[in-house]
Amino acid sequence: MSEEFKIEIVNPEKSFLVKEDVSEVVVPAYEGEMGILKDHISIISFLKPGIIKILSKSGDENYYVEDGIVEFKNNNLSILTSSIFNITDMDKSQIQDLLKQVEQESSKEEISDQSKYLIDQKIEVLKTLN
Amino acid sequence: MASLDDLKKRIASVKSTQKITKAMKMVAAAKLRKAQESAEKGRPYSEKMNNVILNLSSGISDKENAPKLLSGTGNDKVYLCVVMTSDRGLCGGFNSNIIKKAKSYFSKILSEGKELKIITVGSKGNDQLKRMYGDKIIENISFKESKNANYFDADKVGKIVIDKFENSEFDICTIFYNQFKNVITQIPQAQQIIPLNNEDAEENVSEESYEFEPDEDEILSNLLPKNISTQIFKAMLENSASEQGSRMSAMDNATRNAGEMVDKLTIQYNRSRQAAITKELIEIISGAESL
């Protein structure tokens, strides 16, 4: 029996990625990293800034996301996100730009605790990529 | 009767207008393909988003405490209308159709004695509405700089709407846009986005139960604002495809009309040229006869 399932990542502009031969996906869910294997229970959760790791036969891929929703049902994993980047496509300067942008946001005074938390997460993840 | 010179000038000017409309048609056709493509590509996102929300909202047992974006404020006194039009003209009935739809809705609301607030997206809508409803327009947003509809812009509009909702400035929000059916037909739509109206989609709800992390309420309250932006983005994509389609058929008509006009003017020109020659001949002959 195959241990593979289907993943689909969509962003508002287009269907970002569709893969049928995924064996494991690790997503940065809201309450901590979550590994998803085949026949996982149906789940809906949302993402915090972090890295999506996709392990598949045709090679592993890593994506940086800032937010999103993940839904798993009948061995279909759908991830909806408005900002996603393939890490291999990101170069140092792009990461630096993002980092600078986020740091600027965090220096603003009138932000809620929740967005502060999210921004700190972003900074942390971006720093590890750097 | 116009002189030969005048007719010649008119023919030349109609011909150059025809060239312009023809070029505009070509440009619109090229842009249409792109806009249509991105409208189609954008669909999975909004569909998936809708599905997730449907699944979530059907799972909520405690309707009383459901997020207000879903269930509404309980009042229906203040209506907010987001009218989405284009920034450029010369696109046939595209803008007027939306405005017509919106205006009939406005007068219905006002006759019921409700309060009305308008946000216009796109400068053409603002131009047409400010004469009659100038005091009702609370915001005018225009994305002249952005070439294509993008999510970033939609998110901006969405944030404005949500901010106003959280400050309880309105109870019900409706967006107006043109749905793209095909090049000739665009259907003006009024879609209620707050509170979310999902009566017509109930049958798609799956029976399966989900595990939620964190709990339903928290996911919903995070998801609903995103859904607003998504719906607005969808409307923007549909709108931009409709705009190009509408412009294309309008310019096609204009080109054809200009062609007909050139034909008519050319006949008139030839007739008066012949008349002038005949007149000259008669003058010569009668001059010779009198000798």
Answer yes or no: is pLDDT of B222 > 60: yes
Q: Which residues are within 8 A (CB) of B41 and not within 5 positions of it... i.e. 6 or more apart?
A: A13, A14, A15
Contact B178, B242 (CB under 8 A): yes
As a whole number of Å, the CA-based R_g of chain A is 15
Residue B272 in this model has a pLDDT that exceeds 60: yes
Q: Report the alpha-carbon distance of residue B281 to residue B291 in Å, rounded.
A: 16
Q: Is there a contact between B223 and A46 if contact means CB atoms under 8 Å apart?
A: yes
Tokens standing for B43?
A: 């669909």
Summarised one tens digit per residue, pLDDT across range A38-75 is 888 888 888 888 889 998 888 888 888 888 888 888 88
B91 is catalytic: yes
Nearest to A12 among B151, B211, B222 (CB): B151
- Could you give phi then psi for residue B237, rounded to 5 degrees? -65, -45
| CA-closest candidate to residue B91, choices B253, B237, B259, B234 | B253
**Stated length of chain B:** 291
Catalytic residue (one of B28, B39, B83, B91): B91
What tokens were used for B207?
Answer: 């029976």
User: Is residue A126 pLDDT above 70, yes or no?
Assistant: yes
All residues of chain B having their beta carbon less than 8 Å from the beta carbon of residue A32 are none
Two tokens, residue B168: 């309880």
Alpha carbon of A95: minimum distance to chain B alpha carbons (Å): 19
Query: Which residues lie closer than 8 Å to A5 by C-beta, 6 or more apart?
Result: A22, A38, A75, A76, A77
User: For residue A1, how many other CB atoms are within 10 A of its CB?
Assistant: 4
For B46, the closest chain A residue by CA position comes to A12
Query: Whole-number mean pLDDT of chain B?
Result: 86
Residue B251's pLDDT band (cuts 50, 70, 90)? very high
| Rounded CA separation B52/B63 (Å) | 17
pLDDT higher than 70, residue A85? yes
| Cis preceding-peptide flag for B225 (omega within 30 of 0) | no
B245 contacts chain A (CB < 8 A): no
Placement of tokens 């409803």 in the chain? B133
Judge residue B95's burial from the number of C-beta atoms within 10 Å of its C-beta, 0-12 exposed, 13-18 middle, 19 or more buried: buried
A10 interfaces chain B, CB cutoff of 8 Å: yes
> For chain B, which residues make up each domain, given as ranges?
41-249
The pLDDT assigned to B282 comes to: 95
* Alpha-carbon distances, residue B190 vs B81, B167, B168, B223 (angstroms): 9, 24, 22, 22
pTM of the predicted model as reported, rounded to 2 decimal places? 0.84
pLDDT digits (tens, 9 = 90+) for B156-193: 898 899 889 888 888 889 999 999 888 888 999 898 88
Chain B partners of A69 at a C-beta cutoff of 8 Å? 49, 52, 219, 223, 226
**Residue among B150, B46, B65, B58 nearest A69 (CA):** B46
Is the predicted ipTM greater than 0.85, yes or no? Answer: no
Beta-carbon contacts of residue A86 (< 8 Å; ≥ 6 apart): A61, A62, A63
Kindly give the pairing relationship between strand A43-47 and strand A68-73. antiparallel
Find residues 172-231 of chain B whose CB sits inside 8 Å of chain A.
206, 208-214, 219, 222-223, 226, 230
Residue of A nearest to B48 (CA): A80
Instruction: List, for residues B51-95, the tens digit of each pLDDT value.
Output: 888 777 776 666 666 777 777 777 788 899 999 999 888 888 899
- Mean of the pLDDT values across residues B122-148? 86
State the residue for tokens 């991830």: A79
Which residue type occupies A95? I
Q: Could you say which of B41, B44, B208 has the minimum Cβ distance to residue A42?
A: B208
Q: What is the structure's pLDDT at A66?
A: 85
CATH topology of domain B41-249: Pyruvate Kinase; Chain: A, domain 1 (3.40.1380)
Contacts with A55 (C-beta within 8 Å, 6 or more apart), sequence order: A22, A23, A24, A25, A26
Residue B175 is predicted with a pLDDT of 92
Query: Average pLDDT, whole number, for chain A?
Result: 84
Contact with chain A for residue B150, Cβ under 8 A: yes
CA dist., res. A29 & res. A46, Å (int): 6
Q: Is A17 on the interface with B (CB under 8 A)?
A: no
Band of pLDDT at residue B197, cut at 50, 70 and 90: low
Please tell me which of the candidates A11, A12, A41 has its beta carbon nearest to residue B211. A41
Residue B123 token pair: 């400068």
